Each structure stands twice: as C-alpha cells, then as structure tokens.
Amino acid sequence: GAVVSQHPSRVICKSGTSVKIECRSLDFQATTMFWYRQFPKQSLMLMATSNEGSKATYEQGVEKDKFLINHASLTLSTLTVTSAHPEDSSFYICSASLSGRKFEQYFGPGTRLTVT
C-alpha cells in the first residue's frame, strides 16, 4: 500500500515553455503532498507543502509564481514550472502523507526535468 506515482518520469522542454508534473497517490487519500527538488549529487530540498483545496505553502527562496502548485483532489497534486530556464533542470520528487504529517511521507519515483 501507500504507492505514489509521478508523471512524466522524464521530460525535456525548451527554455521559456511551461511543464506540468503530476503526483498521484494511487491507493490512499493524501491530505498533504510535498514537493522536493534535488540537484545532481545533492540532497533533497523541500520546495513547498500542498494541502488539498488550499494554497500551497512555499519554503523560503522558492518562487511561487514560477513553481505553481495545485492540489485539486485528495489524490492529485501538480507542479507547473512556468517559463522554464536551464537552471530549472533538476530532479523533482513529490511525497504524499496520509495524515498530513511530515512524519509519514511516501515518496514518488521522481521526475527528471531537462530544460534546453
């Protein structure tokens, strides 16, 4: 149980375009989803916390207008990277929580974004 999927697993886009990444909890309802970013050979950095039906809470230094997060249902959250630039190329990982607590996070497989 507690499976989280992400789509796409890999995406290549051109500078200036937008790309949407989906995070789904497949067999449970996630009140809270988290979005992380991981640069090569570095650790995961929390970008934002997304609660179903409300606005996401962004970590300091993360641009809200650039990384749009929508948590429209208890099983789906989306991250849209707007006007992508090469420096946005990274590995984006989502996690979902049954209880809303960071204590219990189930991670998705990640999405590798390359902006050319």
- Binding piece for another protein, criterion CB under 8 A, among 16-24, 67-75, 77-85, 102-110: 102-110
Task: Considering only the stretches 20-28, 40-48, 70-78, 81-89, report the one whose residues sit in contact with another protein under the rule CB under 8 A.
Answer: 40-48
Q: Which of 7, 20, 66, 112 binds another protein (CB under 8 A)?
A: 112
Per-residue tokens: 99: 């209880």
**Residues in the chain, overall count:** 116
Across 67-91, b (16+ Cβ under 10 Å) vs e yields bbbebeebbbbbbebeebeeebbbb
Q: Which residues bind another protein (CB under 8 A)?
A: 34, 42-46, 91, 93, 95, 101-103, 105-110, 112
